[in-house]
Every structure is written in structure tokens, then in C-alpha cells.
Amino acid sequence: MTDIHTLAGAYVLDAVDDIERASFDRHLRECAACRTEVDELQETAARLADATWSVPPPRLRENVLAEVARTRQLPPVAAPPVASPRRRAPRRWLLSAAASVVVAAAAAGTAVYVVQDQRVRDERAIAEAARSSEARVREILAAPDVQVREAAVTGGGRVTVASSRLHDAGVVVMAADSAPGGGQVYQLWTIRAGSDPKSEGALRVGQTATLSVVEGLPGASDVAVTVEPAGGSLQPTTTPVAQVPL
Amino acid sequence: MVEERSAKRRLTAVPSAAPPDVGDLLGSVARGDEDAFGKLYDLVAPRVFGLVRRVLRDPAQAEEVAQEVLVEVWRMAARFDPARGSASSWILTIAHRRAVDRVRSEQAATSRSIVVGVAAVETPYDAVADEVQGRLERQQVRRCLEDLTELQKQAVTLAYYQGHSYPRVAELLGAPLPTIKTRMRDGLIRLRDCLTTEVTA
């Protein structure tokens, strides 16, 4: 989390100028933890309005309703491909398997970006992973001390790591633009001082994206990704294509 | 309507017949339902008007801005995303931003100095406001504000209720900018924690 993160309170209170607002909005699109925090604090700030309750003059109602009758409504914002069939329905009541990915992703912020960028064949892989660990993922992402870090993957794509000491766990989201060729796969590792890298799982041949919960992650110094033969290796055999220092 | 409500009023915090939910109404409004908008108006207008009036401190201007806000709610209803927060919060966020925009452009235009003083303007207590739930909510917010440190409370309320920017708040309170930014954030976090624990109490 960068320095701009401290602006969250001022942003929510509308105490920033237009330039700061724009740069913070940009920051929010990339910072999962900040987005969760801002949504919560926005909710809190709105409660401050409870103390201001004041009944408007009756003519306001007439004026507003008259203007509404001649005002055209805007259409919904074009929804991301994953969510489009549910655009107009109240999403939270339709927590189907696919929707749970969207929920996990919405909480993650950066993962939204990741999921939207996936090719269709990877959606199922992400859905499976997200479903199996959704509760844990949510818990970690909602932690007050969650830290989010990212690194680029050589050849395109990114690895995002959200880690919480409170839960002694982290969420690793990887989305590469392309899979390694020649029957090779991506494999995730955690690196700890004084011991060998520990495998956190190998992807399948052709798989470019994964979302996994790593218990004990805050004890590690780095998350790394290497290209290994199908099935994975016991120890990394190549130079990492991505490395996220924690 | 005032009489109708008073007659139905009960001495319980939670009415037995659930009142229409702001989120549900906003959903209908998003589909162009004008009747639902009327009901939504009745539920949220006192808070929208109260907030805008608190920030602007001028009833005539407040009425104008509140009208803009409420029409904006109608126009933008389909863009509300329940995954990011409650419908009330979405509406009040629009209201607050509009009010602050107005007060800032006024300040820029006239460069008149703003009277300092938290809660200097007390909203008149209206008959409709005498609604058990509303009263409880107001008390809760006030109680939770008292729970903040003095600097946190001043930083949050000067920004929220008076529409000051954080550099201006820093100036008014004679505190360094980074301190004010931090107090706004940790003040809100404390407020959030206080409001959430009290829900169950």
C-alpha cells in the first residue's frame, strides 16, 4: 500500500480536490484493500447524515416528481462479460457458482480486472478455486491488516498477493497472458529465509490463471512463479517469471 | 402523512410491519417505476435535504441542490451497484458530493470566511423526525462521534458537515496536513467500528 492510501478518509469525506479525487479513483482500480476499505468507510460517512435529518418543504416533493416525470434515465453501465447475464437482477440473491467468483473478485478489486481479462477456458478453473475457498478468501480480503502486492509476469500478466498476518494466510491470484509452451506449466512457490522454496501448486498444461489460499503466507519473504515440466517440480528448476516480495 | 405516521407509531425500535426497503425501492426505480420513486422520496428526502442544508447552511440553496440530487438518483438508479454498498449510502454520497461542490464553488466565488464551529447549526426537530428508528439512529451517530478523540472528531465533522477540504481543515485546526489525513481515516475507522458494534446492542 502506497502513501496515497492514507487519503482514504479525506476521499470518503469529499475533502479532496478534483485532481486528488481522480488520482485516488485510479488508485482504487488497482488496490483491492483500498477499495474494500473505501466502500466500508463510505457507508460509515453516510451514517453521519443521520444526525442532520430535516424535513424539506412540501413543494420540493412536487418539484422533484415533476422533473422526474420529464427526465430520461440512464441505462446501466455495460457490465463486465462475466456478470452480464445478471446485470439487472439483485446480484446478492443469485449466488450461483459463477456469481461467487464475481463476489470474491469484487472484494479483491484487482481480481476483478484479472477475471475479466481471462479467456473463457480459464473461467472454470477460477470458478472452481474460488468456490472451494471462497469463505476463506473473503475473510482474508476483509482483514483490517490486509496488504496487497503485485508483480508482472515475464511475457505478460500479473501475480497479485493479498496477505493478512491476523489470519496468518494470504490469497494468491495469478493471471498470465499466455501459457508456457512445450508441455510446460506454471508453478507457484513461497520462499522463506533459511529453507528451500515450498511448492504452492503447479497449474495444468495450458492453464494461465489461478486463485489460491496460502496458509502461513505472512511467514514467507516472497511468492514466486517458475515454468516447470508438466506436473511440477520438487524444487524450482528455472529462473522465476514473476516474483512478489512480501 | 404526518398524522398517519404518528398514529401508527409504536414504542418499539423495530416496527413489526417492515417498512419498504430503500434498496428494493431503488431497484424498482431503476426499472422506471415512478410510484416507487415517490416512496423512495418519502424515505430519503429528509436525510438528503437535512444533509445538504447542513453543509450549505442556506435553506433556499439547499432546496435547489436537494432537488438536483433527488433527480440525479432517478437518472442514475440503474447504475447503483449493490455489491459496493447500501442504497442509502449511495444516495447520501451523491448528496454530499453535490453539496460540497456547491459550497466550494461559492467559497471560491466570494472567498468569504467560514465560521468555525462544529454542529453550530442544529436542525429543527420536526414532527416527522419523531420516528423511533430515526431517533435511535441519530443518537447512535452522536454517541459514536463522542467516542472519537477531539482531533478525529473535529477533522471528520469539519469535512463532512461543513464541506471543508483537508488542507482547509488542517489550517483551521492548526495541525500538519499528514496528521489531518490520518485523523480523518482513523476517525472514520473508529466510527465504523462503533456503529457496527452498536447494531447488535
Number of domains present in the structure of chain B: 2
Task: At A227, give phi and psi (nearest 5°).
Answer: -100, 125
| Strand order through the sheet with A169-176 | A147-152, A157-164, A169-176, A209-215
Among A171-175, B40-44, B113-117, name the most confident range: B40-44
Give the C-alpha separation, B159 to B147, whole Å: 18
CATH number of domain containing B61: 1.10.1740.10
Cβ atoms of residues B141 and A47 within 8 Å: yes
Q: Which residues of B touch A54 (CB under 8 A)?
A: 46, 49-50, 53-54, 123-124, 126, 129
Does B89 share its domain with B131?
no
Q: Best interface-test mutation with A: which of B53, B74, B90, B126 has the largest number of A CBs within 10 A?
A: B74
Cβ atoms of residues B68 and B98 within 8 Å: yes
Asked if the Cβ–Cβ distance from B41 to A61 is below 8 Å, we say yes
Task: At A117, give phi and psi (nearest 5°).
Answer: -85, -5
CB count, 10 Å around CB of A48?
25
Asked if the Cβ–Cβ distance from B77 to A90 is below 8 Å, we say no
The answer to ipTM > 0.85 is no
Among A26-30, A46-50, B34-38, name the most confident range: B34-38
Does B81 share its domain with B11?
yes
A133 grid coordinates? 475457498
B144 grid coordinates? 459514536
Does B3 share its domain with B76?
yes
- Three-state DSSP class for B63? helix
Does B103 share its domain with B136?
no
Does B83 share its domain with B144?
no
Q: pLDDT digit string (tens) for A99-153?
A: 333 334 434 433 333 333 333 344 455 555 555 556 677 778 777 787 888 888 9
Does B72 share its domain with B157?
no
Q: Which of A15, A17, A75 minimises the CB distance to B78?
A: A75
Does B105 share its domain with B125?
no
Question: Which of B63, B92, B112 is the endpoint of a domain?
Answer: B112
Q: Which residue range(s) make up the domain with B132?
A: 119-201
A227 grid coordinates? 515454468
Question: Which of B82, B112, B142 is the endpoint of a domain?
Answer: B112
Does B103 share its domain with B7?
yes
Asked if the Cβ–Cβ distance from B89 to A10 is below 8 Å, we say no
The answer for B 67-96 residues in CB contact with A (under 8 A) is 67, 70-71, 74-79, 82-86, 88-89, 92-93, 95-96
Asked if the Cβ–Cβ distance from A54 to B50 is below 8 Å, we say yes
Does B90 share its domain with B125?
no
Question: Which of B86, B112, B138 is the endpoint of a domain?
Answer: B112
- Give me the pLDDT at residue B136, please: 63
Does B88 share its domain with B163?
no
CB count, 10 Å around CB of A225?
26
Cβ atoms of residues B83 and A91 within 8 Å: yes
- Nearest 10 degrees: Cα torsion A86, A89, A93, A99: 10
Does B12 share its domain with B74?
yes
CATH number of domain containing B167: 1.10.10.10
Q: What is the pLDDT averaged over residues A27-43?
A: 91
Asked if the Cβ–Cβ distance from B84 to A39 is below 8 Å, we say yes
Give the C-alpha separation, B130 to B43, whole Å: 14
The alpha carbon of residue A102 and the mean position of all alpha carbons in its chain are separated, in whole angstroms, by 10
**Chains A, B: CB pairs < 8 Å:** 197
Spatial CB neighbours of B175, under 8 Å, sequence gap ≥ 6: B151, B183
pLDDT tier, A171 (very low <50, low <70, confident <90, very high otherwise): confident
Does B192 share its domain with B123?
yes
Share of chain A above pLDDT 70, in %: 75
Q: Best interface-test mutation with B: which of A52, A91, A95 has the largest number of B CBs within 10 A?
A: A52
pLDDT tier, B22 (very low <50, low <70, confident <90, very high otherwise): very high
Give the C-alpha separation, A235 to A27, whole Å: 36
Give the C-alpha separation, A9 to B151, whole Å: 14
pLDDT tier, B27 (very low <50, low <70, confident <90, very high otherwise): very high
The alpha carbon of residue B186 and the mean position of all alpha carbons in its chain are separated, in whole angstroms, by 19
